[in-house]
């Protein structure tokens, strides 16, 4: 910086206190946990073909409530959304070497779940204003080996499901919806997560609602649901007993949700609408307060969609501002804004893709498929430019912000912009 921007305000930052950490747990959640604890049954699962194959009373109640709320036929709770993604891909019967197109602008588990089944993640670029996977880029990457599109409803934003569904139908592909960050987000009046063949949500501690760790898979396909139940709970044990003959060759895990987490989930579901509305109100206040700042592009909400604002994403234009993102970021942090992030993820550039997997390493099974995979920088230019130069995010999911907090965030932004020449 040319000089300390704090001096412009008498040496004092706009925000000189810590924001309240987000907390969706209340007395009802605590009471539900105590009730389960008193029963002594903390998990009702048994890896055998009986009434407890699908879990205990709380788990089954939670899943039924989830299905009714999200208007899907089947909901399958899991111990994490990472487990959920692995189960989703396993339930769709892909073969080693099959290609699944996904986005690089996502948490690493999205692509790791593909690799888990010896399938190949192929990265398509993202839309420059929604950060979701770009259907045009998806179509360019479809080959004879492509079997699915794994779309991610990032930051609370819905993907373009009109175009993705058309591509899935045209090329006979499965559509998987990773809506981990986008609970209650809708597209044309329907909840994302349930718009594809299979999908779901995360319930880890910093989502809109949480069970500590956890997730819920949703589908309207009975056969997929059967496979999900099996993958979640030691499928091979059930098949060995001859009770699930249609699931021959299935392999399963312990992806089971406990009774305590399910009991919390039941209570959390009651408040999800309120929790999402809080984030939407924060975003609305930010939109009004920041709309006239030059060189700052605010979040876009896709047509026919709602946005649940897991994160408040912005795009900077360094050329218009005449200053780098790094300097803007430091100035905003100096004013006391918490939860800022100047980058997100370009997954295809992670070391494991550059060193372990790219080009069919002899140490990785893909080398046997006779196909070299390139994850070189440049294959996803929109995502890479956002990561390198222009993205700026405010992690509003981390805090329970009130109107006063948001007013001060806006004031801090305006102060930095008013003094842009001095940073």
Contact call for residues 288 and 318 (beta carbons, < 8 A):
no
At 180-219, the pLDDT tens digits run 999 999 999 999 999 999 999 999 999 999 999 999 999 9
3-state secondary structure (DSSP) of residue 330:
helix
The rounded Cα 277 to chain-centroid distance in angstroms is 18
At 307-337, the pLDDT tens digits run 999 999 999 999 999 999 999 999 999 999 9
| Main-chain dihedrals φ then ψ at residue 172, nearest 5 degrees | 55, 55
Question: What is the pLDDT at residue 357?
Answer: 58
Question: What is the pLDDT at residue 75?
Answer: 98
> According to the CATH classification, is domain 27-269 in 3.40.640.10?
yes
Question: What is the pLDDT at residue 423?
Answer: 82
Contact call for residues 146 and 97 (beta carbons, < 8 A):
no
**Sheet-wide strand order for 215-219:** 74-78, 215-219, 198-202, 174-178, 146-152, 99-102, 120-123
> According to the CATH classification, is domain 5-23+272-344+383-422 in 3.20.80.10?
no
Contact call for residues 211 and 268 (beta carbons, < 8 A):
yes
Question: What is the pLDDT at residue 7?
Answer: 43
Question: What is the pLDDT at residue 237?
Answer: 81
Question: What is the pLDDT at residue 51?
Answer: 81
Question: What is the pLDDT at residue 2?
Answer: 42
Question: What is the pLDDT at residue 211?
Answer: 98
The residues, ordered by sequence, that sit 6+ positions from 367 with a Cβ below 8 Å of its Cβ are 360, 361
Q: Which residues of the chain have pLDDT under 50?
A: 1-3, 7, 359-360, 365, 367-368, 370
Do 5-23+272-344+383-422 and 27-269 fold alike per CATH? no
> Rg (Cα) of the chain, in Å, rounded?
23
Every domain of the chain and the residues it spans = 5-23+272-344+383-422, 27-269
Question: What is the pLDDT at residue 193?
Answer: 97
């Amino acid at each position: 910086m040319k000089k300390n921007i704090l001096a412009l305000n008498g040496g004092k930052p706009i925000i000189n206190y810590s924001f309240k950490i987000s907390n969706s747990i209340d007395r009802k959640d605590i009471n539900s946990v105590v009730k389960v604890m008193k029963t002594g049954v903390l998990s009702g699962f048994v890896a055998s073909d009986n009434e407890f194959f699908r879990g205990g009373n709380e788990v089954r109640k939670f899943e039924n409530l989830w299905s009714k709320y999200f208007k899907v036929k089947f909901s399958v709770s899991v111990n994490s959304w990472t487990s959920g993604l692995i189960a989703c891909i396993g339930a769709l019967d892909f073969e080693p070497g099959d290609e699944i197109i996904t986005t690089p602008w996502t948490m690493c588990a999205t692509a790791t779940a593909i690799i888990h089944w010896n399938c190949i993640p192929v990265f398509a670029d993202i839309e420059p204003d929604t950060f979701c996977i770009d259907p045009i880029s998806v179509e360019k990457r479809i080959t004879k080996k492509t079997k699915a599109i794994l779309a991610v409803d990032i930051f609370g934003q819905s993907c373009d499901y009109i175009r993705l569904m058309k591509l899935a139908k045209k090329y006979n592909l499965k559509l998987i919806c990773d809506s981990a960050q986008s609970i209650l987000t809708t597209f044309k009046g329907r909840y994302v997560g349930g718009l594809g063949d299979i999908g779901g949500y995360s319930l880890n501690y910093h989502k809109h609602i949480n069970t500590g760790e956890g997730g819920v898979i949703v589908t309207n396909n009975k056969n997929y649901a059967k496979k999900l139940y099996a993958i979640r709970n030691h499928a091979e044990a059930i098949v060995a007993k001859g009770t699930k003959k249609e699931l021959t060759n299935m392999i399963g895990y312990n992806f089971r949700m406990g009774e305590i987490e399910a009991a919390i989930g039941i209570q959390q579901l009651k408040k999800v609408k309120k929790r999402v509305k809080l984030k939407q109100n924060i975003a609305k206040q930010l939109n009004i307060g920041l709309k006239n700042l030059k060189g700052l592009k605010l979040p876009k909400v896709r047509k026919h969609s709602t946005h649940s604002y897991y994160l408040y994403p912005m795009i900077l234009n360094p050329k218009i501002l005449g200053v780098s993102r790094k300097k803007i970021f430091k100035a905003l942090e100096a004013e006391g804004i918490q939860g800022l992030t100047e980058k997100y993820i370009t997954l295809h550039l992670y070391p494991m893709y550059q060193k372990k997997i790219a080009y069919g390493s002899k140490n990785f099974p893909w080398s046997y498929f006779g196909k070299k995979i390139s994850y070189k920088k440049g294959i996803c230019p929109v995502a890479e430019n956002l990561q390198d130069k222009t993205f700026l995010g405010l992690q509003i999911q981390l805090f329970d912000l009130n109107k006063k907090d948001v007013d001060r965030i806006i004031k801090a932004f305006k102060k930095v912009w008013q003094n842009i020449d001095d940073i």
